[in-house]
Amino acid sequence: MKIAVLIKEVPDTGADRTLNQHTGLADRAASEAVLDEIGERTLEVALKILDSQPETHITVLSMGPETIQATLRKALAMGAAGAIHVSDEQLLGADLMLTAQVLAAALRRDQYDLILTGNMSTDGSAGMLPVMLAELLSLPAATSLSQITITDGVLQGTRELEGATAQVSTPLPAIASITEALPDARFPNFKGIMAAKKKPIEVLSLADLDVEALPADTARSIMLTVNQRPAREAGTIMTDDGQAATALVEFLAKNNLV
């Protein structure tokens, strides 16, 4: 079975993240870029399949700047067989549509049985890419899965809806997106790290993929303005002396909150 795992580098959510106020782009110098946590979990789903079905072949795919190569190398050390890095200056500030078109073009170059993604990134929070790929590649998409199993060419999963869960299934080939309910990734071991050095990372440009950054027939979403919100300031902080509860209720009453 051939699996493609889509991963993405994002600004670290554990620190303050900054947008450049002139370009509207993520300020890469201001915050450290890390592999989006959901991407690690997605890779782990593929690695679990590899554990039980050794003939599985995992390819990690990412679009982004040069720095992503270290992350791709780590994925290879964990057990992926190959990696594809789509890198092109014209992709700076790419919107969702262009991103989906680029990833779909990279995925069309091979016959994958399963395309695995996270349900949502921490920098874009759109939660749309999996179904955009489904449309572009004419594949079924089982999204927001908190459980996933593959048996005899059929994907089964638990889909997290709002206020409900659904048991879903689809024959492969298919796209699946997973939620953070699934476990975090394993650590690469020494043997894996050594083996990764010999594994290939294929680098592709827009020209290689035959994708135009600004085709005349496709509307793009552009950022018009960027403003930083003023930071919040702390108010009254008191240590509980037995009276704090009453003081809180008075504060709420004064602010018309009760």
Partner 1 sequence: MTTFAPDSILVFLETTLGGEPAKSTAELLGAAAGIGTPVAVIAAEAEHLEALAAHAAQAGAHSVLSAQVDSVVLTAPLADVLQQAYELVQPQAVLLAHSLTSREVAARFAVRHKLALSVDALGVQRDEQGVIASHSIYGGAFATTSAPTFGAPVITVRVGSIEERAQAQELALRALDVAAGDSAEITVQDVSSVQADSARPELRTATKVVSGGRGLGSAEQFELVYQLADALEAGVGASRAAVDAGFIEHAAQVGQTGVAVSPQLYVALGISGAIQHKAGMQTAKTIVAINKDSDAPIFEIADFGIVGDVFKIVPRVISALEARKAQ
Scan residues 85-144 and list those touching ligand FAD (CB under 6 A).
Answer: 122
Among 3, 5, 11, 188, contact with partner 1 (rule: CB under 8 A): 11
Which residues make Cβ contacts (< 8 Å) with residue 201, sequence separation at least 6? 69, 72, 73, 76, 82, 83, 84, 85
Give the strand pairing for 154-161 and 201-204.
unpaired
Q: Return the number of other C-beta atoms located less than 10 Å from residue 130's C-beta.
A: 24
Give the strand pairing for 57-63 and 2-6.
parallel
User: What are the CB-based long-range contacts (under 8 Å, 24+) for 166-172?
Assistant: 168/142, 169/142, 170/140, 170/142, 172/1, 172/113, 172/114
Residue 147 contact partner, candidates ligand FAD, partner 1, none, CB within 5 to 8 A by sort of partner: none
Residue closer to partner 1 by CB (options 49, 174) is 174
Beta carbon of residue 119, minimum distance to ligand FAD (angstroms, whole number) = 12
Binding of partner 1 by 7 (CB under 8 A): no
Report yes or no: 114 and 56 within 8 Å, Cβ to Cβ.
no
Residue 2 contact partner, candidates ligand FAD, partner 1, none, CB within 5 to 8 A by sort of partner: none
Binding of ligand FAD by 9 (CB under 6 A): no
**Binding residue count for ligand FAD, defined by CB under 6 A:** 3
Binding of partner 1 by 44 (CB under 8 A): no
Which among 162, 107, 161, 151 is positioned nearest to 130, based on CA atoms? Answer: 107
Residue closer to partner 1 by CB (options 140, 192) is 140
Binding of partner 1 by 30 (CB under 8 A): no
Scan residues 83-102 and list those touching partner 1 (CB under 8 A).
Answer: 95-97, 100
Among 7, 9, 37, 141, contact with ligand FAD (rule: CB under 6 A): 37
**Interface residues toward ligand FAD, by CB under 6 A:** 13, 37, 122
